[in-house]
Amino acid sequence: MDKESLVKIEAVCPSKMELAEVKDKLSRAKSGPQYWRCLEELAQTDDFFEMLHREFPRQASIWPESASRRDFLKLAGASLALAGLAGCVKIPLQPIVPYVRQPNEVVLGNPLFFASAMPFGAYGSPVLVESHEGRPTKIEGNPEHPAGLGGSDVFSQASILDMYDPDRSQIITYLGQLRSWSDYVLALRGALNSQKAIKGAGLRILSCPTSSPAMASLMDEVQAAYPDSKWIQWEPVNRDNVRAGSLMAFGDYVETRYNLEKAEIILSLDGDFLSSGFPGFLYYARQFAARRNPDLGDKMSRFYSVQSTPTNTSGKADHRLPVRASEVEQIARAIAAGLGAGGATAGNLTPKQRTWVAALVKDLQAHKGAAVVIPSDNQPPAVHALAHAMNTALGAGGNTVVYTETVQVKPADETKALKDLVGEMNAGKVDMLLIMGSNPVYDAPVDFGFADAMDKVPLRIQHGLYQDETYDHVHWHINGTHYLEQWGDVRSFDGTASLIQPLIAPLYNGKSDYEFVFALVGSADTTDYDIVRKYWQGQVKGDFDTSWRKALNDGYVANTAFAPKNVSAKGGNVPPTSSITAEVMEVIFRRDPLIYDGSRANNGWLQETPKPIMNICWDNAVLISPNQAKQSGLVTGDIVEIDVDGRKVNGPIWPQPGHPDNSITVFLGYGRTKAGRVGTDVGFSAYKLRSSNSPWYAETKITKVGSGFDFAHPQGYQYIDVSDLPAGMTDNLIGRHVIRKATLHDFMQKGFHLEDNEPVPPEMTLYPNYQYTELKWGMAIDLNSCVGCKTCIVACQSENNIPVVGKMQTMRGRQMQWLRVDVYYEGGTEDPSMYYQPVPCMQCENAPCEQVCPVGATVHSTEGLNDMVYNRCVGTRYCSNNCPYKVRRFNFLLFQDFTTPQYKMMRNPEVSVRSRGVMEKCTYCIQRISHGRITAERENRKLRDGEVITACQQACPAGAIVFGDLNDPTSRVSKIKAQQRDYNLLEDLNTRPRTSYLAAVLNPNPELETSEPS
């Protein structure tokens, strides 16, 4: 990026500010709630107001410099790849079974749904896959699956783009040269013959963790054929600490799952159980939301979070205690000591921490049998052991906590197993290494020197979806299949087994992991279908064909959830983990909330979705507390060198409200060198700092080495302007009641009254109100339920063929996502409260956009929607200027890729693919409304409530979004809107939006409310 561009973009989103400005602002602030969305807004700088008053950023209409154009073409120009695919559809050879109640034949224009499951680490996410004439186009949750409850997460939503990724590996290679499967099998047989003679002593297999029962059976077969071989499971974002904590507490590996529906008090020890990717996230999000319903009265749950890096999970807490990651253990010890759990001893706590812990302990003890403690996967084993002891002391077992056998097959200490493998490779004990789905050259602990050790192995074979960083170190590469292209099975977090069925034949003739492994012990022509089916034939009693069809139809094998185990945690002393002294800065390593461990780095939807809480995209950052940034003389965009034990990496600073002092956080997964056109050279690799003995936090030093880095921060471009309010109301969002909230105590005492804040203006209009005789659509979003996971954004992008625009275009305010999730902070920067507000088009009754469109391209429908007529739009953008909610998106450039064959196959055929020069926005998934209306008309009946579900609603794991007919007083949405908590955004404008919100209700502990500084 050249200097001139940097200047322009700074003007778009001022990001350099001083903490002094913030503190001064806070000191001048009037009493009452203060809502702000980023530090610049809190500081109220002149640059902030200039940006606020520009509908589109300065220079937004100008084509950027050539470097940016190259970047853009990198994203958009995937069409150069694979013209030979030609958009044809290849149907799987074996019979697959559609989801319940769907016609079993293909009717043009009518999608079919198939139940399946997405493996993610060792756990499966249940999904329904929408298929149009043999092309999978959209992922949904499976409402019938006991572990999914109908929601989905960002990774399953985005997995459809993974499958159609033109950068996927498409061929088998030997030393980079094209080969066939039979060439590979020939070479494999020769190597295996040598191994047979030595019982496989030189054979090592390195795979991702798995819970697949069929794969477990294959593991046993390999072990039987090659008794001295070893199979190592490894993933960089692993659960070693969870397992080690379980060993400490129970003397055995035990799976812990939580029943949040029964939990009245939840304590998280740095946990992130409301984020996509956490095992059981779908289940927990739905249960958590159910217990955050203030209509439950004093049965509404209360949530405490001891938190290092702020996450969307900790943002939902009624009480947060920000501490460094290395200090969570001493807080856990203090709480355990208070509960009399084992022989834990409290560490040195500050007075505030003591007060916090004392109130918490009292609350936990008052809710025995209805309280739960959830530790973070990133916290050391001692914290897990303490959490188990606390849960035992609280009588959680069998109530809020259930213990079962482990979901992952053959669990082990993955880091130790990988270290042993490296030792053996260095010692020349490994003759052939098979790597399956793993990328250890990129993500193995830096102290292992994995690549150098691996290069010593005489035969190295890789099976995977990409020719990634590990590819450069192997002899053979076998291109793998995506889960939507193959047969398989997987268990969900509760043990429920699901069958994976292919929606399409492999796009690039890849081999599944089952076929790859089976070639070691059987015929290389055996298909994954035969392998998986044969395994289940051995498991099912009675009529197998019927059971098989039922399992495929339902998406899970009935009665396979693991039975609870009767265990209780050992008491006694939990040995302390070596800590980092308070004077030394720590660096926390976290998986990225969207690209995870880096395996999703080439997914443009995930790269472009603003991260939960911080709302930046297309980069990782060095998160630091605003206070620490000030003390260190750092501002947003300064580049620091992070030094961990002499290993050094540079990264840009992002002051993050709520982050503890003397601590920084870096997300893993960036800095890929061979991810594909989208994910290569994005961000910096934190793996280069991460060693095996300190995988989640370590001592560090930071030194400023540069400045001027610019983030793409979409939340900075879509402000709701409050500056035209009368004097005294211009300094924060309170004047417009963007966030409304109450405490549970007040809500129970006097209900929720909007008049408490400001009288609602009467409806005023120059025109007679339109009479909706048939349908009148509306939406309600519950701020209390929303956990800020961003799944709705990715679901909307997938459903509505929304393009990816890249970092540079996002920085110019040209992002295209129709839905955003705003984060509002309240209070100071040390420990602000957080509120998540999904903002789609409001479908206003008095729509400001409709009144200014010179060509009538945005018009009101007879069902109350603000429709967009793309063919009429001439791109004046008046509508967007006049939209107070900032929910309209303009195609400044030809963002859509109209030529890549894979992307043509992926798109939803019921949604037009927009070209440049067109304004677009949410229309409540009008295609789904039309589909429902046509179906109802064909069946000569009225639409039923719940028959039309918008994409965001369907995807939301928390059930925070409800859509329906406002003319039907019995519809769910009508009932929700009739609640006292219902309010409209910017209702003083008399736009009369059809999307409304249910106010947030917090459940603070009265003891902490009075004793804690705000």
**Cα→Cα distances 514→17, 211, 232, 510, Å:** 54, 13, 16, 12
Our CB check for ligand SF4 shows the closer of 380 and 993 to be 993
Q: Which segment (532-540, 709-717, 788-796, 798-806) binds ligand SF4 by CB under 6 A?
A: 788-796
Of 522, 512, 408, give the one whose Cα is nearest residue 464. Answer: 512
Q: Which segment (32-40, 690-698, 781-789, 915-923) binds ligand SF4 by CB under 6 A?
A: 781-789
Our CB check for ligand SF4 shows the closer of 288 and 719 to be 288
Write b or e for each residue in 132-162: b if 16 or more Cβ atoms lie within 10 A of its Cβ, otherwise e. bbbbbbbbbbbebbbbbbbbbbbbbbbbbbb
- Pick from 956, 973, 986, 1000: which binds ligand SF4 (CB under 6 A)? 956
Binding-site size for ligand SF4 (CB under 6 A) equals: 15
**Closest separation in Å from C-beta 794 to ligand SF4:** 9
Contact map string, positions 834 to 853, toward ligand SF4, x by CB under 6 A: --x-x---------------
Of 920, 865, 864, 871, give the one whose Cα is nearest residue 892. Answer: 920
The verdict on 958 binding ligand SF4 (CB under 6 A) reads: yes
Q: Which segment (475-483, 764-772, 780-788, 915-923) binds ligand SF4 by CB under 6 A?
A: 780-788
Our CB check for ligand SF4 shows the closer of 184 and 284 to be 284
**Cα→Cα distances 654→240, 624, 640, 688, 868, Å:** 29, 6, 11, 20, 38
For ligand SF4, the binding residues in 74-113 under the rule CB under 6 A are none
Our CB check for ligand SF4 shows the closer of 409 and 961 to be 961
DSSP 29-91: PPSS--EESSHHHHHT-HHHHHHHT-SS-TTTTS---HHHHHHHHHHHTGGGS-GGGTT----
- Region for 827 from its dihedrals, namely left if φ exceeds 0, alpha if ψ lies in -120 to 50, beta otherwise: left
Q: Which segment (229-237, 700-708, 718-726, 955-963) binds ligand SF4 by CB under 6 A?
A: 955-963
Our CB check for ligand SF4 shows the closer of 603 and 896 to be 603
Q: Which segment (344-352, 559-567, 714-722, 786-794) binds ligand SF4 by CB under 6 A?
A: 786-794
Our CB check for ligand SF4 shows the closer of 276 and 415 to be 276
Our CB check for ligand SF4 shows the closer of 325 and 614 to be 614
Q: Which segment (672-680, 745-753, 787-795, 962-970) binds ligand SF4 by CB under 6 A?
A: 787-795
- Pick from 248, 266, 435, 787: which binds ligand SF4 (CB under 6 A)? 787
Our CB check for ligand SF4 shows the closer of 206 and 1000 to be 1000
Burial of 468 (0-12, 13-18, 19+ CB in 10 A): buried
**Closest separation in Å from C-beta 321 to ligand SF4:** 24
Contact map string, positions 738 to 777, toward ligand SF4, x by CB under 6 A: ----------------------------------------
**Closest separation in Å from C-beta 969 to ligand SF4:** 25
**Closest separation in Å from C-beta 805 to ligand SF4:** 21
Q: Which segment (229-237, 516-524, 857-865, 958-966) binds ligand SF4 by CB under 6 A?
A: 958-966
For ligand SF4, the binding residues in 883-912 under the rule CB under 6 A are none
Our CB check for ligand SF4 shows the closer of 407 and 779 to be 779
**Closest separation in Å from C-beta 785 to ligand SF4:** 7
**Cα→Cα distances 310→581, 660, 663, Å:** 21, 9, 12
Our CB check for ligand SF4 shows the closer of 790 and 807 to be 790
Our CB check for ligand SF4 shows the closer of 316 and 904 to be 316
Contact map string, positions 789 to 828, toward ligand SF4, x by CB under 6 A: xxxx----------------------------x-------
- Pick from 117, 218, 386, 960: which binds ligand SF4 (CB under 6 A)? 960
Sheet holding 995-998, edge to edge: 961-965, 777-782, 995-998, 982-983
Of 434, 427, 478, 512, give the one whose Cα is nearest residue 232. Answer: 434
Q: Which segment (625-633, 800-808, 956-964, 997-1005) binds ligand SF4 by CB under 6 A?
A: 956-964
Task: Report the distance separating Cα 589 and Cα 579, nearest Å.
Answer: 16
The verdict on 788 binding ligand SF4 (CB under 6 A) reads: yes
**Closest separation in Å from C-beta 795 to ligand SF4:** 7
Q: Which segment (301-309, 599-607, 628-636, 784-792) binds ligand SF4 by CB under 6 A?
A: 784-792
Write 85-91 long-range contacts (CB < 8 A, 24+).
Answer: 85/507, 85/901, 85/902, 86/901, 87/901, 87/904, 87/905, 89/133, 89/134, 89/135, 89/504, 89/905, 90/134, 90/504, 90/505, 90/506, 90/507, 91/134, 91/504, 91/505
The 3-state DSSP class for residue 882 equals: helix
Give the DSSP letter of residue 380.
-
Task: Report the distance separating Cα 223 and Cα 199, nearest Å.
Answer: 9
What is the number of other CB atoms lying within 10 angstroms of the CB of residue 558? 12
Of 980, 978, 981, 974, give the one whose Cα is nearest residue 999. Answer: 981
Task: Report the distance separating Cα 120 and Cα 326, nearest Å.
Answer: 28
**Closest separation in Å from C-beta 956 to ligand SF4:** 3
Q: Which segment (376-384, 476-484, 954-962, 987-995) binds ligand SF4 by CB under 6 A?
A: 954-962
The verdict on 277 binding ligand SF4 (CB under 6 A) reads: no
**Closest separation in Å from C-beta 786 to ligand SF4:** 3
**Closest separation in Å from C-beta 972 to ligand SF4:** 16
Of 950, 960, 973, 959, give the one whose Cα is nearest residue 1000. Answer: 960
Q: Is 376 within 8 Å of 275 (Cβ atoms)? A: no
**Straight-line distance from the first to the last Cα atom of the chain, in angstroms, rounded to the nearest whole number:** 42
Burial of 223 (0-12, 13-18, 19+ CB in 10 A): middle
The verdict on 961 binding ligand SF4 (CB under 6 A) reads: yes
Contact map string, positions 434 to 473, toward ligand SF4, x by CB under 6 A: ----------------------------------------
**Cα→Cα distances 392→248, 260, 267, Å:** 14, 16, 14
Task: Report the distance separating Cα 390 and Cα 364, nearest Å.
Answer: 10
**Closest separation in Å from C-beta 282 to ligand SF4:** 11
Q: Which phi and psi (to 5°) does residue 904 adopt? A: -65, -40
What is the number of other CB atoms lying within 10 angstroms of the CB of residue 840? 24
Our CB check for ligand SF4 shows the closer of 387 and 795 to be 795
Of 585, 538, 583, 616, give the one whose Cα is nearest residue 823. Answer: 616
Our CB check for ligand SF4 shows the closer of 381 and 840 to be 840
The 3-state DSSP class for residue 229 equals: coil
Task: Report the distance separating Cα 1002 and Cα 1007, nearest Å.
Answer: 14
Our CB check for ligand SF4 shows the closer of 609 and 627 to be 609
Our CB check for ligand SF4 shows the closer of 623 and 779 to be 779
**Closest separation in Å from C-beta 996 to ligand SF4:** 14
Q: Is 300 within 8 Å of 367 (Cβ atoms)? A: no
Q: Is 601 within 8 Å of 617 (Cβ atoms)? A: no
Q: Which segment (482-490, 622-630, 675-683, 782-790) binds ligand SF4 by CB under 6 A?
A: 782-790
Our CB check for ligand SF4 shows the closer of 479 and 996 to be 996
- Region for 993 from its dihedrals, namely left if φ exceeds 0, alpha if ψ lies in -120 to 50, beta otherwise: beta
**Closest separation in Å from C-beta 118 to ligand SF4:** 17
The binding site for ligand SF4 (CB under 6 A) comprises 786-792, 821, 836, 838, 955-956, 958, 960-961
